[in-house]
Amino acid sequence: MKDSKYFNSNIRLRRLRKNAATRDLATETRLHTKNLVWPLFILEGENQRQEVKSMPGVEKLSLNLIIKEAKEAHELGIPGLALFPVIPDNKKDKKASESKNPNGLMQTAIKELKKEVPEIVLFTDVAMDPYSTDGQDGLVENGEILNDETLPILAEMALAQAKAGADFIAPSDMMDHRIGYIRQALDAQGFTNTGIMSYAAKYASAFYGPFRDALDSAPNGDKKTYQMNPANSKEALSEVSIDINEGADIVMVKPALAYLDIISLVKTNVNIPVAAYNVSGEYAMLKLLAKNNLANEKEIVLESLTAMKRAGADLIFTYFAKDVAEWLKS
């Protein structure tokens, strides 16, 4: 073929796609098991197992079963776990009092996991919603989610988790200035080596539905006065820069799939690791496509997670972690 004024026939991008080995060599982004953090839902009791109906394949498990899963995850090479406790209604109140109980479910889980699988990195959720009768991440008074009054509650929760042995406190509540407040509280008690992973750019998203179902934590009303407006991207940079100034070690963008532009923007603007949360609704969406034979599960999951990494995510929180670790072995 000869050149026309419209193209240069020397250039043929298909040369780099001609077979699997060449495509491998020309691959820009490679998903790795070491990028993954696996979120787990913890139940009270022993040998308890409840499937999360809205998330096919995900189960809430009591601690003895969680430990078994954590050992398997570790053996598969998954470096981190994110812990979410399922708190029974009779332990919920307006002030999330149970969250600071040194022998509460979360704190017990942290201690046991650190004893049984010491190498695994524990990210522990800090927010009032699993413990709150209002299902909100902050303290509610006359329908308003109070900011500054919520901070001491979050700090006490964070301290209880740090004392139990958490590696990274992970505030997911989106109150203003909670990173600085928690950092100070941790340092004042000598927990200078406990990290903070901030859910810095967390959007008020409809993709959290199955998670709220799993924790039975659906809020009274919505979370739009603290979680971000999905229409905004510059604001994400304000959120992450404030959190970094206040001492965050890692910043997260959440959800992931519909927010790849935000992951990319944040990655090019910060010098610390960026995490992406492949949230419950994204998980359910892909599972349902696969279950209905509308997509190959392995292909659609690997494509989605690779896209998150390509966008700039260093850590990826995903309910698919164990499946991905198995797939990436072969």
- Which listed range, 41-49, 107-115, 204-212, 234-242, lies at the site for ligand PBG (CB under 6 A)? 204-212
Q: Of the candidates 59, 155, 164, which has an alpha carbon nearest to the alpha carbon of residue 109?
A: 164
Least distance in angstroms from the C-beta of 281 to ligand PBG: 6
Does residue number 109 form part of the binding site for ligand PBG (CB under 6 A)? no
Does residue number 99 form part of the binding site for ligand PBG (CB under 6 A)? no
Nearer to ligand PBG, 223 or 322 (CB): 223
CB-side exposure of 231: number of CA atoms within 13 Å? 1
| Residue 287 is a catalytic residue | no
Residues 130-169 touching ligand PBG, rule: CB under 6 A, are: 137
Per the structure block, which two tokens stand in for 52? 């999360």
Task: Tell me how crowded residue 9 is: count the other CB atoms within 10 A of its CB.
Answer: 9
Note the residue count of the chain: 330
| Residue 254 is a catalytic residue | yes
Q: To 10 degrees, what angle do helices 105-116 and 151-164 make?
A: 30
Task: Tell me how crowded residue 44 is: count the other CB atoms within 10 A of its CB.
Answer: 15
Q: Which positions from 237 to 276 touch ligand PBG by CB under 6 A, shown as an x/- string?
A: ----------------------------------------
Does residue number 172 form part of the binding site for ligand PBG (CB under 6 A)? yes
Least distance in angstroms from the C-beta of 39 to ligand PBG: 7
Site size toward ligand PBG, by CB under 6 A: 12
- Which listed range, 2-10, 92-100, 121-129, 322-330, lies at the site for ligand PBG (CB under 6 A)? 121-129
- Find the binder of ligand PBG among 35, 280, 304, 318 (CB under 6 A): 280
Catalytic choice (254, 287, 309, 322): 254
- Find the binder of ligand PBG among 41, 181, 203, 208 (CB under 6 A): 208
- Which listed range, 59-67, 96-104, 205-213, 284-292, lies at the site for ligand PBG (CB under 6 A)? 205-213
Beta-bridge partner residues of 219: none
Residues 6+ apart with CB under 8 A from 271: none
The residue written with tokens 């001609």 in the block is 18
E-assigned strand segments in the chain: 36-43, 49-51, 59-62, 80-85, 121-126, 139-141, 144-146, 168-171, 195-202, 250-254, 274-278, 315-318
Least distance in angstroms from the C-beta of 254 to ligand PBG: 7
Least distance in angstroms from the C-beta of 137 to ligand PBG: 5
Between the alpha carbon of residue 21 and those of residues 299, 304, 310, 326, the distances in Å are 18, 22, 20, 21
Find the DSSP H helices in 143-279: 151-164, 178-188, 209-215, 234-245, 260-269
Nearer to ligand PBG, 181 or 211 (CB): 211
Nearer to ligand PBG, 191 or 203 (CB): 203
The catalytic residue positions are 202, 254
List residues near ligand PBG by CB under 6 A: 125, 127, 129, 137, 172-173, 208, 211-212, 223, 279-280
